[in-house]
Amino acid sequence: MARYVEMMRTREEEILKLIELISKESNNFENPKLILIGGYGLRAFVPFDRATRDCDFVLKREDGWQIDEIKDWFGREVSVEAFEKRNSSGYLRCIRPVKVGRKQVKVSLDFMEGEVTGRAEKDVVIIDERFVSDSWKSKIKVAHKEIEMRIPSYRDFFILKVVSARASDARDIATLVWKNGVPERLEERVREVMPYPEAFKEKISESILPIIKDKRFLHSWRGLFMAAEFNEETKEQVIEQLSKLLVV
C-alpha cells in the first residue's frame, strides 16, 4: 500500500507540472479553451479525490486543428503515443515516463477535439458551442496546489461519464448522483450532443446499473475513494434515481 501511495503521489506531482505548462501555453486554458474532464474534473463536483493516472481535456473543433498546435507544446521528455484526426474529431495522447523507486510508470495527457468517442460506434458526444459556454472555472487541487481550470456543466460532465461507462465511471456516477442528484433537462441535452441518443439509456441499463447493483460495488467504491461514507442505503437511492432515467 505504501508503495502504491508513493507511486500515485509521484504521478500527481508530474501531472501538476504538465498542467502548469498547459496553463502557460494556453493563456490559462483560454486560448484554446481547454475544458477539464475525467477523474480530475470529478473533483469539481464531489468532496472526494480518487487516484488517476490520466489528465483529460476536451475542446471545441474550430477552423484548423488545434491539437496540431498542442502537440508542439511539450519538450523531449513528453512523447506522443497517439495522434488521430478525422472529419469531426481529433485525439492526442501525450505520455511522460516517471521513475518511482526502481520502477518506471507513465502519466498521460489526453486531448479530444470536436468529439469524445468511445469504444463502440454509438459512443459519441459532440463538444458544441454550448458545451463551452456552459463551462465554468473551478479551483482543482492537483498534488499540493490548487489550479483554476475550466470545467463542463454538471449535465455535460454526467453525459460524458455515462457514455464512457467503465467500472470506474459507474463508481463516479454513483458518487455524482449521491452528492448532486440527476442533472436537470438531461434528455434534451442528450439529444443535442449525442448523434445516437438511444445509446445513453443503453449505457445506463446495460453497463452502469449492473455494476452498481453488484454485491461487490460497495467494496470497490470504498477502495477507489478511500472513504467509507457510501453505504447500502445510499446505493439503493442511487439505483432508484438512475432507474427513473430509463422510463422518462
Residue range 58-75: mean pLDDT, rounded: 93
Look-up of cell digits 518511482: 100
**CB of 160 within 8 A of CB of 191?**
no
The 10s digit of each residue's pLDDT in 83-110 is 999 989 999 999 998 887 777 888 999 9
pLDDT value at residue 8? 78
Domain 1-152 has CATH 3.30.460: yes
Alpha helices in the chain (DSSP H): 2-25, 38-42, 66-71, 129-133, 154-164, 167-180, 186-193, 198-203, 209-213, 217-225, 232-244
Q: How far apart are CA 183 and CA 192, in angstroms?
A: 15
Q: Which of 103, 126, 94 is nearest to 113 (CA)?
A: 126
Predicted structure pTM score: 0.95
Task: Map out the domains of the chain as residue ranges.
Answer: 1-152, 153-248
The 10s digit of each residue's pLDDT in 214-246 is 999 999 999 888 888 999 999 999 999 999 999
